[in-house]
Amino acid sequence: GENVEQHPSTLSVQEGDSAVIKCTYSDSASNYFPWYKQELGKGPQLIIDIRSNVGEKKDQRIAVTLNKTAKHFSLHITETQPEDSAVYFCAASMGAGNKLTFGGGTRVLVKP
Amino acid sequence: GAVVSQHPSRVICKSGTSVKIECRSLDFQATTMFWYRQFPKKSLMLMATSNEGSKATYEQGVEKDKFLINHASLTLSTLTVTSAHPEDSSFYICSARDRVQNTEAFFGQGTRLTVV
C-alpha cells in the first residue's frame, strides 16, 4: 500500500519567515495530494491540494509543489503569522475522494 | 466548503459499555464515509470505508465486531465502539465525500472518547 513520509516533525519559525514541509510517497499511482491543518482538539481542515497533472499551485501565502518523478511534494507558507501555528498533515490518494494515506504530521510553531 | 458534523465532540464512558458516534453531512450527499482514529500527537489512521447502503470495508487490524459502522442513509454514518476498554480511548474523526459529484473528502470535528 501507499506510504507517506513527512519531515520535519516539528518546525519553529519566527513570525514573518517562511515555513517548508516536505513529504514523499511510495505509490506512483497516487495522483491527489492534499494538505491539512489541524488545530488542537479539532478535525483536519483542507488548506490546499494538488493533482498530479500540475507541478505547482498557490493560494495567497500558501503554495504546494509536486515532483512526480521523485515522488515528493512540499508545502510552503510565506510570511508566517502566529495563527499559522498548528499541526500540518500531508496526504496522498488515488483520486480526490478515495481513502487518504497521511504523513506523520508537522507541528509548526510561529513565534511572535 | 461542505459541512460535516460529528457528534458528540467529547464522551466519557465506563469500560464494558458501548458508545455511538454520529457523522452527518449537512449540505451534500455523503455516498462514501471514512472513519479515522488518531492517537495523541500522532497521525490519522484509516479504520474503515463505507459506501451508503453497503457493508463497510475495514482496514487490516481493525476489528469489525468491535467497531460497528452503519451507513444507512446519504447523510448519516455511525461508528459504535462496542464493549469499550481504556485502550479504545482516542480521537475519532469521520470524513465524507460525494462519490457521484466526485468531491474531495470533508472532515468532521472529531470525537474525543475516554473510557474509564
pLDDT digits (tens, 9 = 90+) for B77-96: 999 999 999 999 999 999 99
Nearest chain A residue to B41 by CA: give it: A105
* Grid coordinates of A91: 496526504
Question: Is residue B28 very low, low, confident or very high in pLDDT (cuts 50, 70, 90)?
Answer: confident
Q: Give residue for cell 501507499.
A: A2
* Grid coordinates of A63: 503554495
| Cβ count near B21 (within 10 Å) | 24
Among B42, B49, B108, the residue with its CB nearest the CB of A99 is: B49
* Grid coordinates of B83: 464493549
pLDDT in tens, A7-64: 999 999 999 999 999 999 999 999 999 999 999 999 999 999 999 888 999 999 999 9
pLDDT in tens, B29-51: 888 899 999 999 899 999 999 98
* Grid coordinates of A29: 499511482
| H helix runs in A31-101, sequence order | none
Q: Which residues of A touch B43 (CB under 8 A)?
A: 89, 102-105
Q: Is A96 a residue whose pLDDT tops 90?
A: no
**What contacts B49, CB < 8 A, 6 or more positions away?**
A99, B32, B33, B34, B35, B56, B57
Give me the mean pLDDT over the B10-28 stretch: 95
Is any Cβ of chain A less than 8 angstroms from the Cβ of B46?
yes
Supply the pLDDT for residue A102: 95
Nearest chain B residue to A3 by CA: give it: B45
* Residue percentage of chain B with pLDDT more than 70: 97
Say how far apart CA A90 and CA B37 lie, in whole Å. 16
pLDDT in tens, B52-80: 888 999 999 999 999 999 998 899 999 99
One-letter amino acid for residue A6 of the chain: Q
Supply the pLDDT for residue B1: 63
Supply the pLDDT for residue A75: 98
Supply the pLDDT for residue B43: 94
Nearest chain B CA: its distance from A102 CA (Å): 6
* Grid coordinates of B43: 497521525
Say how far apart CA A44 and CA B105 lie, in whole Å. 11
Supply the pLDDT for residue A54: 86
